[in-house]
Structure 1
């Protein structure tokens, strides 16, 4: 059996940020994108989580909880407001697997 090369969770997070940065301008509303651009340095975050609901249908495959993760990217809440999730990105830790899906705020 061939060894599978895996992303670390930190690398997976960085990979998700790269995808987010490349696609955000085309997938977020102008107001959300501008808000992110203004506040990402002080309030931006990324959380790596087990895949949430709805991914198996979108990915059209069974998801392995040890290989597939959801990265939520957004802005922390301000003045007691809830965090704003701008994108949920589904990725595999397998470097050779091209699985990548994104759900964007407002879509």
Structure 2
């Protein structure tokens, strides 16, 4: 059996961010995209979390918590305000799996 080639968690964050950067202008409102552009250097973030049950309706397959991650990308809040999640991107750690779904703020 062939061993799977896996992204490290840091590589997966970078991969998610690359996807976000490529698609954000076409999928965010003009206001959200402009806000992101103004603040990403100082306050932009990507967090990896275990995918929630809501992804099952989108992907129509079982997700393995050690293999599949949701990358939440956004801008951290200021002065105690909540973080602004701009996109949730579902990815696999397996480098050759094409699973990639994105849910964008406002859609």
Q: Secondary structure, in 3 states, of the residue corresponding to 1:106? A: coil
Per-residue deviation at 1:53?
Answer: 3.1
**Structure 2 length normalisation: TM-score?**
0.98
Q: How many residues align?
A: 107
Cα distance in 1 for partners of 2:44, 2:52 equals 21
Cα distance in 1 for partners of 2:78, 2:64 equals 35
Cα distance in 2 for partners of 1:86, 1:19 equals 13
The aligned counterpart of 2:62 is 62
The aligned counterpart of 2:87 is 87
Structure 1: gaps spanning 5 or more residues? none
Q: Secondary structure, in 3 states, of the residue corresponding to 1:47? A: strand
The aligned counterpart of 1:42 is 42
Q: Secondary structure, in 3 states, of the residue corresponding to 1:96? A: coil
Runs of 4+ aligned residues of structure 1 deviating over 4 Å after TM superposition are: none
Per-residue deviation at 1:79?
Answer: 2.0
Structure 2: gaps spanning 5 or more residues? none
Per-residue deviation at 1:78?
Answer: 1.3
Please give the root-mean-square deviation of Cα atoms over the aligned residues, in Å. Answer: 0.6
